[in-house]
Amino acid sequence: MKRILTIQDISCFGRCSTTIALPVLSAMGLETVVLPTAVLSTHTMFSGCTFRDLTGDLLPAARHWALLGVHFDTIYTGYLGSAEAVDAVLEILRLLRAEDTLVFIDPVMGDGGRLYTGFDETNVRRCAALCREADVFVPNITEACLLTGTAYAAPGSAQADRAYYSGLLDALHALGARTSVLTGVSLEDGKTGILGRSDHDFSVQTERVEASYHGTGDLFSSVSAGALTLGLAPEEAFRMACAFTAETIRATLAAGGDPRTGIAFEGCLPDLIRRVREALR
């Protein structure tokens, strides 16, 4: 059985980060090891949440695994709330990365042309250093612009055309990853998806669902990282992630409820398991 380590926070209420990654990756048939960067009572869309920083525990845990000789097929990072956490992850890669370990980085820093609350240019610089260690990384448009010093163009604007996205992908890929994927890209009216590059360029577009849920990006990244760990080619892995994410958004919209509780992926897991089985035949 393949083993994947995911390094990101645990928000105890409100589906996101580790509470999505652990069940999704486990359902895909992977032994999933978690290394929480922080524990929050809720994700940050709820006001007044509690926060316990665990940055100081990251390296001791990794050193213990190194002493035990634990091998990871993939190391997958998500939300890292501080420059110190990024530096700890860089050291963890030096400790635990083997020649055959895939490093998958989701550089969670911002959206809508802005950094998330609590992030600054120091975070951007340290995250750029982390992305240079990636085999695969999956920034959204905002994060890609921050990492490459590119002016932000909002999706749907006149500036955000195919040439703009291609230039942004060029700048991303120059950071050194084997596979670079730009998320949140709309190449056709009424559709959204990705533009990627590995040994060739590829794109995936799905029907846009007019709804937004916390944790959607975490779901996409978890399925992508899982599929790559299982041996799927990049285009096939990201096509699966796009399709499953779109399906789950539709199911969440149909179910109703408070959108702050996040994307309702649980009822869709049987379909994910089916997709994985078919892809591995």
Q: Report whether pLDDT(81) > 90.
A: no
Q: How far apart are CA 139 and CA 145, in angstroms?
A: 9
* 277 falls within a domain: no
Q: Report whether pLDDT(154) > 90.
A: no
* Residue 117: per-residue pLDDT: 81
- Give me the half-sphere count of Cα atoms (radius 13 Å) on the Cβ side of residue 49: 18
pTM: 0.96
* Nearest to 77, CA basis, from 127, 28, 42, 31: 127
The SS3 of residue 164 is: helix
* 279 falls within a domain: no
Q: How far apart are CA 41 and CA 281, in angstroms?
A: 41
Q: How far apart are CA 260 and CA 195, in angstroms?
A: 28
* 196 falls within a domain: yes
CATH at 204: 3.40.1190.20
* Residue 210: per-residue pLDDT: 86
Q: What's the number of domains the chain is made of?
A: 1
* 50 falls within a domain: yes
Q: Which domain holds residue 81?
A: 3-271
Radius of gyration of the chain (CA): 18
Task: Find all residues with CB under 8 Å of 158, minimum gap 6, and list them.
Answer: none
Q: How confident is the model at residue 35 (pLDDT cuts 50, 70, 90)?
A: very high
Decide the pairing of beta strands 3-13 and 74-77. parallel
The SS3 of residue 34 is: strand
Q: How confident is the model at residue 189 (pLDDT cuts 50, 70, 90)?
A: confident
Q: How far apart are CA 196 and CA 237, in angstroms?
A: 11
* Residue 215: per-residue pLDDT: 94
User: 103 to each of 10, 139, 173, 177, 225, how far by Cα in Å?
Assistant: 20, 14, 15, 9, 9
Q: How far apart are CA 111 and CA 115, in angstroms?
A: 7
Per the structure block, which two tokens stand in for 148?
A: 């490459």
* Residue 71: per-residue pLDDT: 98
Q: How confident is the model at residue 119 (pLDDT cuts 50, 70, 90)?
A: confident
Rounded to an integer, the average pLDDT of 132-161 is 92
Rounded to an integer, the average pLDDT of 51-73 is 97
* 276 falls within a domain: no
* Nearest to 229, CA basis, from 66, 144, 78, 104: 104
* Nearest to 61, CA basis, from 17, 9, 5: 5
Q: How far apart are CA 166 and CA 160, in angstroms?
A: 10
For 206-253, the pLDDT digits (tens) are 999 988 898 999 999 999 999 999 999 999 999 999 999 999 999 999
* Residue 17: per-residue pLDDT: 96
* 18 falls within a domain: yes
